[in-house]
Amino acid sequence: MSITGIKEKIIDIKAPAKINLSLRVLNKRADGYHNIETVFLSIDVWDLLRIRLTTDRHISLKVENSTIPSDESNLCYQAAAMVSRAVKNFPGCEIVLQKKIPVGAGLGGGSSDAAAVLISLNELLGYPLGEKKIFNMAVKLGADVPFFLQHGAALGTGMGEKLQYFNVGWDFWILLLCPNFLISTSWAYSNLKMGLTNEEKNIILKGQIWQDIQVDVFYKVFENDFEQLVFFSYPELKKMKRKLYDCGAVFASLSGTGSAIYGLFNSKNEARTAERQFKNDVRTFVVTSKCPQ
């Protein structure tokens, strides 16, 4: 998260997207959720939120550049409601959300926005909530939300909420391809055949020393268990991944449960050259993993 300005009880904050370098599904839990192993990486595509304290004790949410709802079903609203219940004499707030992160693409935009609301309201209110309380709120909002309480790279286990952040020296450019359709996370998990996962690879993933992994060997250790399912239902995504490699990507993958596909390139020029092969068909971004400051 990057807070760019605080003035008269207003915060402007950039909420970055993420990609999953790897996503392995280990097993289904008794509560119906799944245990996973994933490698999160925040990237320089972001939504912008302006959050202002009011005096009417109400929560107001306005969404710009998107058709997503602005009612109680929105994670930003739910995050603000959690804070309002936890803080005595909550004064009310107004949230304006400018969407840039594609929805339903596996990039975590909604989760990142919710984390931004938790962070910003806690700061505007003078930090009445400790880090543990904020983290527990994030977990209740969704398994990806805790990752966005800070940015960088992290190994996520459990449902994704158990996080081990690590420093990396990776130097690559990311070409992000976002088709004009979304894929439901609930659909993906409910249709995933658990027999497709590979326990041996999960053990290998746990044992890696992340700082030492070079981009050119990502394909040996990183894998997304949802690709087989998603590519069967959306074969155009499989073609995009293959084309990314044909264009010189050193690694390409589905992000999360999709629908975004990304390729990693050694230089900005290579990523821009590859982008020209897709620009007329899908929404594209050429970005780095350096989040906005």
Annotated active-site residue in 12, 44, 113, 144: 144
State yes or no: is 18 an active-site residue: yes
Residues found in the chain: 293
Alpha helices, H only, 145-252: 185-191, 199-207, 218-221, 227-233, 235-246
Amino acid at site 242: R
Annotated active-site residue in 12, 14, 18, 99: 18
b/e map 199-234, b = 16+ CB within 10 Å: eebbeebeeeebeebebeebeebbbbbbbebbbeeb
Amino acid at site 92: G
> Are residues 284 and 175 in contact, defined by beta-carbon separation less than 8 angstroms?
yes
State yes or no: is 99 an active-site residue: no
Q: Look at residues 152, 155, 182 and name the one whose alpha carbon lies nearest to residue 168.
A: 152
Q: Which residues are catalytic?
A: 18, 144
